[in-house]
């Protein structure tokens, strides 16, 4: 009888061990099918371009297809809210711009998501270059000349943005406040449309991301009056920052990867580590550099802290700008 009990106990222990082994094996196999990265902005912008660079490198590492799915609308709210409601198994991820993640909650009465409670931060991905650009025929060639010109004719010059409360709109408001000038804001539905009209001469000025403007800049169809970032951009080493003329001015937009809240921690950690490897790859770094962006490596915990601090900072800037969308 004792031998029989021992045999049963041994079999039960073996079964339990096999169960744990099977669970561990299942965890190790992530991902075992295609992964979707939701981008809540249209194709062709900075966030889309960054997501595609990272998606390609993750696909190479995982041996699985990594799809980039654009879900634009309401300044990024549509796609962000969609990702928040996705299954939290690691197979639907979000690559978001700081504008949608930390500015929209202050700007919109309803976003459809909570930027902290609805997401598990995975890792920051990149920092993007932003520039103040003008039509080549515009009289000013730098920020100092723009300030002098705008002060001589308050409200006479207009500045295009991707829409009320968007990042390039708020940066334009920050510039006006910092330099005590008045520009007429012309909101568009997308950054590309704003850039196109500046090229065409319908509007003289705009703040643009490098991915949406670099081709026009290289073709001589837009001129750079100043770089928004705190440091000069590697892609435009001869273009001074606005902060070199206006001390204390500067903003460096970031992009990060998130998962729906409740995603298993082992999967979050794996993706975080794999993203770090992706950003270490020279071809990924070179591709980001051509877009006027640079890798921004970090952990999920670091991204969480960035989100929390930026929510406070941008809430004040949105309030000061007077922008609000129902």
Q: Are residues 260 and 240 in the same domain?
A: no
Could you say which of 244, 268, 297 is where a domain stops?
244
Q: Are residues 180 and 237 in the same domain?
A: yes
Predicted confidence (pLDDT) at residue 286 exceeds the cutoff of 50: yes
Q: Mean of the per-residue pLDDT values for the chain?
A: 90
Classify residue 92: in a domain, yes or no: yes
Q: What are phi and psi of 308, to 5 degrees?
A: -65, -45
Q: Are residues 116 and 144 in the same domain?
A: no
pLDDT of residue 322: 75
Averaged pLDDT, 266-294: 94
Classify residue 81: in a domain, yes or no: yes
Averaged pLDDT, 163-173: 84
First to last CA, the chain: 76
Q: What's the pLDDT band for 18 if we cut at 50, 70, 90? A: very low
Q: What's the pLDDT band for 319 if we cut at 50, 70, 90? A: confident
Per DSSP bridges, beta strands 92-97 and 205-209 are unpaired
Q: What's the pLDDT band for 25 if we cut at 50, 70, 90? A: very low
Classify residue 17: in a domain, yes or no: no
In the sheet that holds 184-187, the strands lie side by side as: 184-187, 158-161, 205-209, 130-134, 223-227
pLDDT of residue 14: 52
Lookup: tokens for 80: 């962000």
Rounded to a whole number of angstroms, the CA Rg of the chain reads 23
Classify residue 1: in a domain, yes or no: no
Lookup: tokens for 14: 């073996």
pLDDT in tens, 37-94: 999 988 877 899 899 999 999 999 999 999 999 998 888 999 999 999 999 999 999 9
In the chain, the number of structural domains is: 2
Averaged pLDDT, 99-125: 95
Q: Are residues 238 and 264 in the same domain?
A: no
Question: Which structural domain, as residue segments, surrounds residue 81?
Answer: 30-128+253-321
Task: Measure the CA–CA gap between 215 and 72, rounded to whole angstroms.
Answer: 23
Q: Are residues 152 and 212 in the same domain?
A: yes
Q: Facing residues of 209 across strands?
A: 130
Q: Are residues 123 and 267 in the same domain?
A: yes
Q: Tell me how far the alpha carbon of residue 183 is from its chain's centroid.
A: 26
Q: Are residues 44 and 143 in the same domain?
A: no
pLDDT of residue 12: 52
Q: Are residues 138 and 238 in the same domain?
A: yes
pLDDT in tens, 240-268: 999 999 998 998 899 999 999 999 999 99
Classify residue 171: in a domain, yes or no: yes
> To the nearest whole percent, how much of the chain has pLDDT over 70?
91
pLDDT of residue 127: 92
**CATH number of the domain to which 212 belongs:** 3.40.190.10
Averaged pLDDT, 111-127: 97
Q: Are residues 197 and 302 in the same domain?
A: no
**CATH number of the domain to which 315 belongs:** 3.40.190.150
Q: Facing residues of 161 across strands?
A: 187
DSSP result, 167-228: HHHHHHHHHHHHHT---EEEE-SSHHHHHHHHHHTSSSEEEEEHHHHHHHHHTTSSEEEEE-
pLDDT of residue 53: 96
Classify residue 18: in a domain, yes or no: no
Averaged pLDDT, 208-213: 90
Classify residue 10: in a domain, yes or no: no
């Amino acid at each position: 009888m004792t031998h029989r009990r021992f045999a049963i106990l041994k079999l039960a222990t073996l079964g339990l061990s096999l169960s744990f082994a099977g669970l561990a094996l299942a965890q190790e196999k992530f991902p075992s099918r295609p992964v979707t990265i939701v981008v809540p902005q249209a194709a062709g912008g900075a966030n889309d371009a960054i997501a595609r660079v990272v998606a390609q490198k993750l696909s190479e590492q995982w041996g699985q297809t990594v799809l980039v799915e654009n879900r634009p609308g309401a300044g990024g709210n549509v796609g962000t809210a969609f990702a928040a409601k996705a299954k939290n198994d690691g197979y639907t991820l979000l690559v978001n711009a700081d504008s949608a993640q930390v500015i929209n909650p202050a700007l919109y009465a309803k976003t459809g998501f909570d930027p902290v409670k609805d997401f598990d931060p995975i890792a920051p991905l990149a920092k993007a270059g932003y520039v103040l650009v003008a039509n080549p025929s515009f009289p000013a060639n730098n920020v100092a000349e723009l300030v002098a010109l705008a002060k001589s004719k308050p409200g006479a010059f207009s500045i295009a943005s991707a829409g009320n409360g968007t990042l390039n709109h708020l940066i334009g408001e920050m510039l006006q406040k910092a330099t005590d000038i008045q520009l007429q804001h012309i909101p568009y539905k997308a950054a590309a449309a704003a850039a196109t009209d500046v090229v065409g001469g319908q509007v003289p000025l705009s703040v643009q991301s490098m991915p949406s403007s670099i081709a026009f800049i290289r073709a001589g169809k837009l001129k750079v009056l100043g770089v928004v970032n705190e440091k000069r951009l590697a892609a435009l080493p001869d273009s001074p920052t606005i902060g070199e003329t206006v001390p204390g001015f500067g903003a460096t937009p970031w992009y990060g990867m998130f998962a729906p809240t409740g995603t298993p921690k082992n999967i979050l950690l794996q993706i975080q580590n794999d993203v770090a490897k992706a950003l270490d790859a020279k071809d990924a770094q070179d591709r980001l550099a051509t877009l006027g962006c640079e890798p921004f490596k970090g952990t999920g915990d670091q991204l969480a802290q960035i989100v929390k601090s930026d929510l406070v900072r941008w809430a004040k800037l949105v309030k000061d700008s007077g922008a609000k969308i129902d």
